[in-house]
Amino acid sequence: MRASWVEAALIFSGAVVGWYTTRRWRISGAQAAPRAPTSDYLAGLNYLVNEQPDRAVEAFLRAVAADSDTVETHFALGALFRRRGEVDRAIRIHQNLIGRAELTPSYREQASYALAKDYLGAGLYDRAEKLLLELSTAGSYRMAALRDLTQVYELEHDWARAIEVHRELARVANPPQPLAIAHYWCELAQAALIAGDYPQARTHLQAAHSEQKRFARGALLRADLAIVLGDTELALKLLRQVAVQQPAVAGEVWPRLLRALKTAGRIEELSSILLELAQSGQVVADALAHAAILTTEIDSPQLQKLVREYVSREPMIGELVAAFLPEGGEIDVGVLKRLCVAMRRQAQRAPRFRCSECGFSSTSFFWQCPGCKSWDGFKPLSPSELLAPANRAPRS
């Protein structure tokens, strides 16, 4: 909250500078003479800089009451109301501006964009989309409108349109966003898989693959498709690749690995696959052990070995368990299983994933962070972090 006010203060400090250099214009700009700022307007800016938003609103309201014809004060008030969550008031101010026939084209464009942001803030996505589509065709708000449109389509799960807008952005100037587009294709593929339309799912997954190589989510969905189509070898190959290349998503690999083997009646191969994967690196072995602890009964001896080695190295858990063992002793299977049950219970009660971009934590895994909307940022918490909620970042 504090950060947003600091941001607002910076924006309006910029507005002050701009004002003094260009002077203030009335709504009917073309015919009007430049005017000096009112004391209330300056007082409002001063309150903003000093992070006193309530007093800033009061000052801007006085400025508008004294002179309802100035554009800047309306924009300042509208932006303030939106930031305070008073979106209805912001909408009324910007609608009022747009309704004035004498408004200059550039101010009209600015007011339309501000109103679109109000609608976004109010969750009125269809109205925001309509305004943003108009602004996205040309003009100084084109790029901003296109970026906001991707947000609207993501929120509406309209993945096909999100892909179109991303491509339009890349054509205009922005760097291409292959990761986001690949995730949109995966969303479409997942929907096709759920609907049982396997040819369509395959087409979408090929499109995802052409956008992004070594892409965990695409490979996992291709494994899902291979499992339902009975191609166990392909599923196991894809899952092995993801486990080795991107250990952070082992939690997504593990249940699929079990499903592929159980569906094919080949669960006895689990131990040899685990051994092979563990030999590819400590990080891979630990990630699989971690995923297994939180989702599975650890009955396989190979799995017990992985889990035992993993928890023994965990800073807090390893030391605690070692304190109860005789010198050089090893955690027996009974203790190991009870430890796993305790961690599973804790994982069900508290967040067990955290976004590496913004710190948002959750009990569920997300490909796109609900907090900051970044892709592929969710990482599992370690057992020590799971059992030490006091050290955890607050859930957003």
CB of 334 to Zn ion, least distance (A): 39
Decide whether 326 or 394 has the Cβ nearer to Zn ion.
394
CB of 359 to Zn ion, least distance (A): 7
Decide whether 139 or 371 has the Cβ nearer to Zn ion.
371
Decide whether 185 or 378 has the Cβ nearer to Zn ion.
378
- The answer to the question of residue 366 lying near Zn ion (CB under 5 A) is no
Structure tokens at 395: 């859930």
CB of 175 to Zn ion, least distance (A): 20
Cβ-contact 270, 262 below 8 angstroms:
no
- Residue count, binding to Zn ion (CB under 5 A): 7
CB of 396 to Zn ion, least distance (A): 8
Decide whether 258 or 358 has the Cβ nearer to Zn ion.
358
Is the CA virtual torsion 134, 139, 142, 145 positive or negative? negative
CB of 288 to Zn ion, least distance (A): 25
SS3 state at 82: helix
Decide whether 231 or 357 has the Cβ nearer to Zn ion.
357
Decide whether 69 or 357 has the Cβ nearer to Zn ion.
357
Angstrom distance (rounded) from CA 230 to CA 304: 29
Return the residues of window 306-365 that contact Zn ion according to CB under 5 A: 355, 357-358, 360
CB of 354 to Zn ion, least distance (A): 9
Return the residues of window 182-241 that contact Zn ion according to CB under 5 A: none
CB of 248 to Zn ion, least distance (A): 14
Residue entry with tokens 């996505």: 125
Mark 367-386 with x for binding to Zn ion (rule: CB under 5 A) and - for no binding.
--x-xx--------------
Angstrom distance (rounded) from CA 180 to CA 313: 36
Residue entry with tokens 């928890």: 311
Interaction site with Zn ion (CB under 5 A) = 355, 357-358, 360, 369, 371-372
